[in-house]
Amino acid sequence: MHALWRLAALGVAAICGIVSAAGTEDSAKRSGFDFMTPETQALQADDTSNPGMLWVLQGEQLWQQAEGRADVACAGCHGDASQTMRGVATRYPAFDEAMERPIDLAGRINSCRAERQQAEPLTPESDALLALTAYVAHQSRGMPIIPATDARLARFRDNGRRLFQSRIGQLDLSCASCHDDNWGKRLGGSVIPQAHPTGYPLYRLEWQTIGSLQRRLRNCMIGVRAEPFAFSAPELVELELHLMERARGLLVETPAVRP
């Protein structure tokens, strides 16, 4: 069985090519949008057709809905999201004082629920959490990603880079094996993108629903036959920190559509 997995790994490596630790030059950065068919691009570009907008609209309703023992809505503290949340998604994950580590946007929403609304946290990948996260991130659509510069994030971002470049699983591949070194080539009939997190939460045609970046990262780990990190694991947030740094300057697309 080990020999079979090794043979599979060699086959994937042959498709992907030789692995290096180099990243993509700024001048060559491209959103996953650029690798899609014109039909899928059109689906994302038209808000009346983009299925991810259903979750954005749900998030808008939840934003106004009082929750928890405090009986207060997100709007009760933050007001008009189109004003107060504009630009927020461009700089997350951010450092959390209480946790003494980075927190992603979905984590911040759940933190606010617990501390301000005195409500139970929303379950990872639940419609409600995805909807609120998509609604908040949508307010930054069209703005360039500008990762937080807090010096306290440096060691976590470094760990995210290490995780991105580390070979894992029975196929012995890293994220960089495909997304840094072999983007634009095909694997299993699909074009390999550069793995820039410009549109999450996004609607994936394969899933027929919206999903988080953490879901996508876990899918990739399963794809290389590795044990995936649990939802909300620190390692997934650290990976996002690194990915956002790689995507610096690209525009937020939430809710993006992908194949």
Give residue-wise pLDDT tens across range 113-168: 999 999 999 999 999 999 999 999 999 999 999 999 999 999 999 999 999 999 99
Q: Average pLDDT, whole number, for the chain?
A: 91
- Quote the CA–CA distance of 194 and 23 in Å, as a whole number: 9
Global pTM reads 0.89
- Known catalytic residues are 220
User: Mean pLDDT over residues 45-58, rounded?
Assistant: 98
Q: Which two tokens stand for residue 109?
A: 């929403």
Whether the per-residue pLDDT at 54 is higher than 80: the answer is yes
Q: Which two tokens stand for residue 120?
A: 């139970």
Q: In the chain, helix, strand, coil percent, each to 5?
A: 45, 10, 45
Domains, the chain, with CATH or none? 2-46+146-258 (1.10.760.10), 55-138 (1.10.760.10)
- Quote the CA–CA distance of 145 and 66 in Å, as a whole number: 31
Model pLDDT, residue 24:
62
User: Mean pLDDT over residues 221-241, rounded?
Assistant: 97
For residue 179, name the pLDDT band (cuts at 50, 70, 90). Answer: very high
Buried residues in 208-231 as b, exposed as e (16+ CB within 10 A) = ebbbbbbbbbbebbebbebebbee
Q: Are 173 and 17 in contact (CB under 8 A)?
A: no
Helix (H/G/I), strand (E/B), else coil: 96: strand
- Quote the CA–CA distance of 255 and 179 in Å, as a whole number: 21
Nearest to 101 by CA among 146, 159, 144: 159
Which amino acid is present at 212? S
> Phi first, then psi: what are they for 171, rounded to 5°?
-90, -5
For residue 187, name the pLDDT band (cuts at 50, 70, 90). Answer: confident
User: Mean pLDDT over residues 208-213, rounded?
Assistant: 98
For residue 189, name the pLDDT band (cuts at 50, 70, 90). Answer: confident
Buried residues in 133-143 as b, exposed as e (16+ CB within 10 A) = bbbbbbbbbee
For residue 3, name the pLDDT band (cuts at 50, 70, 90). Answer: very low
Residue 181: how many other CB atoms lie within 10 Å: 19
Rg (CA), the chain: 19
CA 129, distance to chain mean position in Å, is: 14
Helix (H/G/I), strand (E/B), else coil: 23: coil
Helices (H), the chain: 2-16, 38-45, 53-63, 74-78, 81-84, 105-112, 127-138, 154-165, 175-179, 213-223, 234-246
Q: Are 102 and 94 in contact (CB under 8 A)?
A: yes
Count of CA atoms in the C-beta half-sphere (13 A) of 244: 28
Model pLDDT, residue 103:
98
Whether the per-residue pLDDT at 17 is higher than 60: the answer is no
